[in-house]
Amino acid sequence: MTGEGVRYGLVMLAAGVGIPILAALNAQLGARLGSPAAAAVCLFAVGFLVAVLALLATGVAPIRALPRQPAYLFGGGVLVAFYILSITWIAPHIGLGNAVILVLLGQMLTFSFIDHFGLFGALQKPLNPQRIIGVVMLAAGAFLAIRA
């Protein structure tokens, strides 16, 4: 792996560390407010502010191309809202670990499919026995962790 690849990997590792922390913080906020939806709105307001600051710091010119993009590309916003609302609502009921493990399993199954077919412009990486074994092992680990 190149130096750039290592840096990218570390950034994604940090993002992975942040996901369960985000889930725990937002689940607690939702419980304290008595509303997962109110907690999600707060999270998105803070996230929007941070994203606007990042856009201002890196240049706003790319924003002009937004109106010319296909509508389906904005589906990511729907999916992130679904994730935030669902993890905020469900984590307090089944436990943060169980919720995140199921999210990770869903991610692994989905990225395997997306990568195999090169969907949404992704780099095509065909399923091979090693990847299939990895998905099966994660599924088995998820099952064992949830039953514990």
Question: 82-135: per-residue pLDDT in tens?
Answer: 999 999 999 999 999 889 888 988 998 899 999 999 999 899 999 999 999 988
Per-residue confidence (pLDDT) for residue 143, from 0 to 100: 85
1 pLDDT more than 80: no
Q: What is the pLDDT of residues 20-66, one digit of tens each?
A: 999 999 999 999 999 999 999 999 999 999 999 999 999 988 899 99
The contacts of residue 75 (CB under 8 Å, 6+ apart) are: none
**Domain tally, the chain:** 1
76 pLDDT more than 90: yes
Per-residue confidence (pLDDT) for residue 7, from 0 to 100: 93
Per-residue confidence (pLDDT) for residue 142, from 0 to 100: 85
**101: domain range?**
3-147
Per-residue confidence (pLDDT) for residue 58, from 0 to 100: 94
Per-residue confidence (pLDDT) for residue 115, from 0 to 100: 93
Per-residue confidence (pLDDT) for residue 104, from 0 to 100: 87
